[in-house]
Structure 1
């Protein structure tokens, strides 16, 4: 910056100082208005739209496709192009270099002109970076496989329906439609085996939900019952196992009171 440019900037600064507004209370007042408006906006979004809630995390669910938040998708997609052995380059080295460049930028760029037409190089570089980030984000969204749709239950009514449906698919053949047990017929490997009722008071009164869930999840190999938990070779997720237990409890346990909205 030469002496002439310094004088021009000094004149502009003096004029702005004479004709400008005070930081307090004028600028602070404007900041407060904007901050309050943003606060109301956030409260409104949280109240009327909310956050998309996914099912409770299930470590045994191998069909779930994990993804980071949308503002990290570009980095997530970028790492796909870096082999695993040098992944540390993309997760540590390149971000650190980018941060250091930003810190050094005021020392590297000494151009006194601030109009965008006089700063095409910087704008072009930043524009290319932003376009790259947007492109990688879009590519990540497009190429992300959808999670397999399974049964979902968010209310007691849905849980009862789901549990009853799953019981009918996986349990009724051996235990009967009402959990009455009896002699098994038509099930390979268990033909003629007699099962005691699982809907009796003895069963419902002495077994907790956790115990019932564990029996269904792990199975009872000595009695010919295979495991139904996804983590142990079965087909049922944690939420589905819980729904079956919920159905059993509120169908056969005369002590359990069904929630009003599930009646």
Structure 2
């Protein structure tokens, strides 16, 4: 083609004088370099996806999900922990300027401004440069966002009490508690006890299972009055009789002590005492007869 033949000059550019239809070439013209989307390429994608799915299923079977005990709405001492991708927002709510009366700031305002800035970054920095160091606004917002997320996530993981979380999530064996007992009814009126040990008395993040230690009635009363470890004393609200009833209920592992074996043991002791008295009287009678 001679120079300029079949071309038109538009400014400093050259464009074809005649437009030709844009018809894609057949795959046979590019052997080994391209393939049809259906079914070749799509079938390959499905095979790769099936391999990853099988691997994921094997992983879930080998390492089951760390399930916790059944949720108890009365357990106010439970410390929740969101998934890892929400930890930075969870940590944000721990600071004074984003918690308490300022919860709206930490839950709505600050995340809204941050995500809004990232969404508006293409319009805030409309430059055509593709090098990141020549787009200071967009690059700065992205770097600030990444550093903030990494820092807040690290702080949340570092400050979380993992030992307490493991204890509060342990699945306890089912234990039958006599909810008709007077001691259970007294316990349900003690908000300070429920906040730590839960409404089912099986423990929570702030307090252990009430029945896991083998204490007698007097020891339970002493613990309730004087406290033990991190448990404060003088938290019981009620009379001395109610305190004794509750302590006896706890010492009897959640069962009404009046329905236990105590009464039978007393009858046996009375029978033994009666037999001893009868033996004593018979011996005395035998001695009198000999005289």
TM-score (norm 1): 0.49
What TM-score, normalized to structure 2?
0.45
Q: Which has the higher contact order (CA 8 A, sep 6+)?
A: 1
Larger Rg: 2
